[in-house]
Structure formats: C-alpha cells, structure tokens
Amino acid sequence: MSPGLVRTLRIRSKRRPGGLGTLASAFGDAGASLGEIQTIRIGHNTTLRDFQLLLDDEDHLAAVLDAIKPLEGCEVVEVIDTVERLHRGGKIRMRSRVAFSGVSDLSAATLPGMKQVAQAVADDPSRVTLYSAVARTVAVVTDGSGVTGLNQVEPAAALPVVEAKCALLAHFAGLSGLPLCLDIDTEDRFVETLVALAPSYGAIVVESVSAPRGPRVAQRLAERLRIPIFHEGADGPAIVGLATIINAVRFVGRSFGDVVIGQIGLGTAGGAIARLVMKHQGKPVLGEDFHPGSVSRHVAQGGRASSIEEIMSACDVVVMNTGAPGLIKPSQVREGQVILALSEPRPEIEPFDALLAGAAFAADGRAISTASAFPGVLLGSLAVQASTIDDGMRIAAALAMAGLAEGHDLVPGPLQPGIHAEIAAAVARAAVQRGVARVVVDNALLVAAVFQELIADERLLPLRD
C-alpha cells in the first residue's frame, strides 16, 4: 500500500490494563493503519510511546486526533512528520574506499599513480571493472514524469524518489546508486543521454517515467547497451506478481500449471505481470483493459482478450492492476477463487469482502513489496556481468522469492535476512545458464554465501574464478 501520509504520534497515557489496546482500537476505528509502536519511556504512572500511522491525508490525521481526544488519560504530546525527518539532508552520500593514511596513498590514487591504471584501461577497456567502481554502480534515472501519486513533477522533485532507490541498493545489495534526474523533453534525448553516460555505470534502473515513454526507453536502452536494464514500473511488479501468484495458488492447494489466470488492467505493471506469467506457465492469460492498445499488445504476446465478466466467472486466479478502487463487487467473486487486488492505495475489492463472498484466498497490495526484488536482481546481474536482464532471469528471481516467503507471507519482505543474496544467486545462475553472462564463473561461486560477501563488499565485482 502507498499511503498518502506517514505520521508518528507521541502519546503519553496512564498505565493501566488494556490501555494500549484501547488506543489501538481507536486508531482502527478511525481507519488508520498502525505501523511500528515504540516505547520511549515507562514512568511510575504514565507510559510514553510512539505510534507510526499510515494515513490518507491531513483530514484523516485530524479525524484520528479527534478519535483520541475522548480517551481518558491519553495525551498527544507531538505529531512527528516521520517522512520529512527521514529525507532531510538526503538519503545517500559518497564515501572513499581508500584510507589516504599517507602521502604514498595520495600519490597512488592521483598523480602519478592514476596515469598507470588509466593507461591499463586504455589498453584493455575490460579492465575498467577491475580499476573503477563501474561494476558496482547503478544509474537510477528519471525525468519526473511518472512519480507515484504525483504523476508529472519537475525532475528535481523526483530526487527523493531516486535517492530512495539508491539507498536501498546500497543497504540491501552493497551497490552504489547514481541518482540521475534528467531535464529531458523527448524520448530520443533521454535515450541518447544515457547512452552517452554509459561508461560511468554497470546497470540502469528506469524509475518513475510515465507510460508509454518508460517501457519504450527501457527497451531502447536494452537494445543499445549490453548492460542490465531494470524497468522498475514493469520488472518489479512482474517478478513480485509471479511470486505472489505461485504462493497464493499453493496456499489453496492448487497446481500453478493447471489454474486459469486472468489479468484485469494491462497497463505497464499489469501487462508485465501477465506476460511473465505466460512465459512461465505456457498458457494464455485472459486479459482486460479499457485501452485497446494494451489489449492488442497482450494478445500479441500470447494472451487472450477478455472481459471483466468472463474473467470473474472463468478464472481460478484473478489479478487486478487498474487503479480503480471498488471496481469488483462481491457478487462477482466465484467460490474458491484466488483474488489479488493490487492497485494502490485502494484495491479493486477489499480482501475481507472477497473472502466473505467465497474466495479461497484474497490479498491486496499491502501484502507485497517490489523493494524485495530489484536489489538482488541487479546484484546478480552485475556479478556475472550480464549483457541483459531477460525473462529467464526474471522468472528465476520470482521462483527464489516464492521459495523464501515465510509462513503465510506471499513474498518475503525486503528486511527479511538473506533474501537479497538468495535472489542474486538465482539470477546469476540463470544468466550463466542462458548464455548472457560475460564472465566465466564456477558454479560453486553462484551461491548465497558468496553473494552475502559481495553485499559486504568483501569481493570484487564481477565475480571471477
């Protein structure tokens, strides 16, 4: 889910049995999603706690505060703007990997030392991965045209978005993100600019670029550059979506190969999910979209044009990415169906309503996070210097994610220990098997333990025997 507002309420309450439960109930009654609860101080008569809330907007916050006022012994001490505090000063910075503890280090890193390695790269351009940070550097690029919840913004306004992706790459995959917000007015200039800058990075993430420019830019870059190109608007949802469907089908005791799958909404995310599902399952997905071009593209990729009515009546699994809250009525749900209503911030049908109507399993976008996918996919691709990210690598990432989910989770959360190394290893193995790896790597190195070392920056990229 992508809430409109994240706020932390610092509340002082009298110590008494059931006090915390009363507060939690008040939040729920006001429609707020409760995140982390942190105890700040326990006194003799009172307790001071921070409650993180996911809200729709400022009016929703006001309604929550009104719901707390009547509670005896509860006082809102402070409303903390968690987002503003986290983003202040930016989320990334560059650090030197060299200690510069003496004159010799300075001379080796600059003149006369740097002349030696510059000449070595000039003589053999492949040495750039050995003598620079390019093998660990990912350009995260946007033009500000497709920021979630805001749509078109000035490129500079998208910097917090691309910085967040860079921070996740650093934290989860040990990679250096290069945030690029391009003030570009045409698709051709967008592509040519990134091609011209290509010697500076080993992979690209296309982020927050509106359709149809985003998918086209990603495709054109993949054709021009022999490096991994990850389109966050398509690849993230496709990988996580496939993993979600695999586990949802497993939860209800069905075989993935046997179920009939329908996709309502064939835009960038929905279309990508349907395409990857068909690649893995080998059967057509029934697809519906109000835009004829999206349906035509779906059919060209092997899907079958359908309607909402047919999908709801004929499909065992229904996936929805329409951006239309309340699109599906409970009366349309068929007994035993799997319902995945993934639009944000509000789903096409609430999971609770779908289950009451007879669905065997139902979930919304709050159950999954695309942040679980891209760090490992990029690390695995760069580790074997893949010339592309192809469908085999995407499917390998999805299968790894599905297998790593714990309990009744559909997919692992990005904070689950070890998942990014596991996904990276699976992607790297797939790249080698499919012949798109540009380095020779022993299979013994393509395991999670080695990728955990890569994340800790204890091995050079790309991997070498």
- 3-state SS string over 134-183? HHHEEEEEECCCCECCCECCCHHHHHHHHHHHHHHHHHHHCCEEEEEECC
Within-domain flag for 256 = no
Are residues 241 and 357 part of one domain? yes
Mean pLDDT for 317-339 is 97
Within-domain flag for 257 = no
Choosing from 344, 367, 390, the residue where a domain stops is: 367
Within-domain flag for 331 = yes
Length of the chain: 465
CATH number of residue 20's parent domain: 3.30.70.260
CATH number of residue 240's parent domain: 3.40.50.720
Choosing from 367, 392, 426, the residue where a domain stops is: 367
Are residues 384 and 448 part of one domain? yes
pLDDT value of position 142: 97
Are residues 360 and 270 part of one domain? yes
CATH number of residue 221's parent domain: 3.40.50.10380
Mean pLDDT for 169-180 is 97
Condensed to tens digits (0 to 9), the pLDDT of residues 340-386 reads: 999 987 899 999 999 999 999 999 998 898 899 999 999 999 999 99
Condensed to tens digits (0 to 9), the pLDDT of residues 426-442 reads: 999 999 999 999 999 99
Within-domain flag for 92 = no
Condensed to tens digits (0 to 9), the pLDDT of residues 253-290 reads: 999 999 999 999 999 999 999 999 999 999 999 999 99
Coil, strand, or helix at residue 187? helix
pLDDT value of position 327: 97
pLDDT value of position 206: 98
Are residues 211 and 138 part of one domain? yes
Are residues 162 and 74 part of one domain? no
Choosing from 312, 338, 367, the residue where a domain stops is: 367
Q: DSSP for 324-380, please give it.
A: -TT-S-GGGPPTT-EEEE--SSS-SS-HHHHHHTT-SEEEEGGG--GGGTHHHHHHH
pLDDT value of position 357: 98
Question: What's the pTM value of the predicted model, to 2 decimals?
Answer: 0.89
Are residues 168 and 201 part of one domain? yes
Position 111, amino acid? L
Are residues 188 and 111 part of one domain? yes
pLDDT value of position 430: 98
Report whether 446 contacts 428 (CB < 8 A): yes
Within-domain flag for 222 = yes
pLDDT value of position 2: 46
Within-domain flag for 129 = yes
Report whether 199 contacts 134 (CB < 8 A): yes
Give the C-alpha separation, 321 to 342, whole Å: 6
Are residues 182 and 118 part of one domain? yes
pLDDT value of position 1: 38
Average pLDDT for the chain: 94
pLDDT at residue 177 above 90? Answer: yes
CA distances, 272 to each of 205, 240, 265 (Å): 16, 11, 10
Are residues 216 and 158 part of one domain? yes
Are residues 109 and 83 part of one domain? no
CA distances, 135 to each of 41, 123, 128, 131, 138 (Å): 46, 18, 8, 10, 8
Confidence tier at 19 by pLDDT (50, 70, 90): confident
Residue ranges making up the domain that contains 81:
5-87
Give the C-alpha separation, 120 to 115, whole Å: 9
pLDDT at residue 241 above 70? Answer: yes
Within-domain flag for 283 = no
Coil, strand, or helix at residue 265? coil
Within-domain flag for 208 = yes
Percent of the chain with pLDDT over 70: 99
Place of tokens 């930016």: 90
How many domains does one find in the chain? 4
Mean pLDDT for 219-229 is 97
Are residues 381 and 359 part of one domain? no
Coil, strand, or helix at residue 14? strand
Are residues 144 and 78 part of one domain? no
Confidence tier at 214 by pLDDT (50, 70, 90): very high
